[in-house]
Amino acid sequence: MMAIAVLAGCDAEQESDRDGSGVREEAPESAPVEGVTRGMLVMGPEIRTLKPCDEQAELWVIPVESVQRAYDALAPEAYAPVFVEVRGRRESAPSAGYGAEYPSQLRLSALARAESATEGFGCSEDVDGFAFKATGQEPFWHVRVLQDRITLSTLEIPSTIFEGSAPIPMDGGWRYESVSSGPETVQLRLEIRRGPCTDPMVGSVYTWVSTVDVGGEVRRGCAWEGSLAPGRSATYSMTR
């Protein structure tokens, strides 16, 4: 039995040493996976960092133009924190320069949204429970697309609940159609399309434009994604 074991070990060693170098080849490292990161972004001369939500360490950031523009628009001064939700790949930190002081770097590819550190919910928002949130001003309205229902809040009516609706694909986005679950039937039609959008009251920057039609009254605003958004779950788990 011992001889068989030794022979098996020799066969395994020969299998891993086919190049004859005497050094076992290591498996290649997997390529960085692009995902979504939420956190506080700080930028200024010689500084570009992002502290992800629920993490202690800051990451060195390689930004893109959309992120730089949003930061410049929302930060009252250099080095002021701005909440962002971005797409990118986490990589090893650079070997030299200012970024070498950090544990890793985040190479950004796109902006999802950006908010002032003093406006919105930032890292405290639970993104796991909804597909989209949409909001508008003058007059104020807010829609949440949840897994089993859609809710609408306005200044006049704090909460109207609509039946759950599956997303309907449309050019550049999604459409939701539903009816209220109360004693009076009200129809809702929510359209969310890709496009730049800025909240006129607080300056928050989004990448979805929304239109809601409730009983024939049309209102327009911005929207952002949660983890239940169509096609989002596969890339949302990198860091929250």
Say what the pLDDT of residue 231 is.
Answer: 81
Give residue-wise pLDDT tens across range 94-150.
999 999 999 999 999 999 999 999 988 899 999 999 999 999 999 999 999 999 999
Confidence of residue 184 (pLDDT cuts 50, 70, 90): confident
Angstrom distance (rounded) from CA 166 to CA 96:
49
Give residue-wise pLDDT tens across range 210-224.
999 999 999 999 999
How far apart, in Å, are the Cα atoms of 50 and each of 33, 128, 237?
Answer: 18, 21, 17
User: 221: Cβ–Cβ under 8 A, 6 or more apart, which residues?
Assistant: 134, 135, 136, 137, 141, 197, 199, 209, 210, 211, 212
Count Cβ atoms within 10 A of the Cβ of residue 156 and give its class: 0-12 exposed, 13-18 middle, 19 or more buried.
Answer: exposed
The domain limits of the chain are: 34-122, 126-231
Amino acid at 237: S
Q: Which residue has the higher pLDDT, 174 or 12?
A: 174
Q: What are phi and psi of 111, to 5 degrees?
A: -95, 135
Give the pair of three-digit tokens for residue 117: 């550190």
Fold of 34-122: OB fold (Dihydrolipoamide Acetyltransferase, E2P) (2.40.50)
User: 189: Cβ–Cβ under 8 A, 6 or more apart, which residues?
Assistant: 175, 176, 177, 212, 213, 214
Confidence of residue 32 (pLDDT cuts 50, 70, 90): low
Q: Is the pLDDT of residue 30 over 60?
A: no
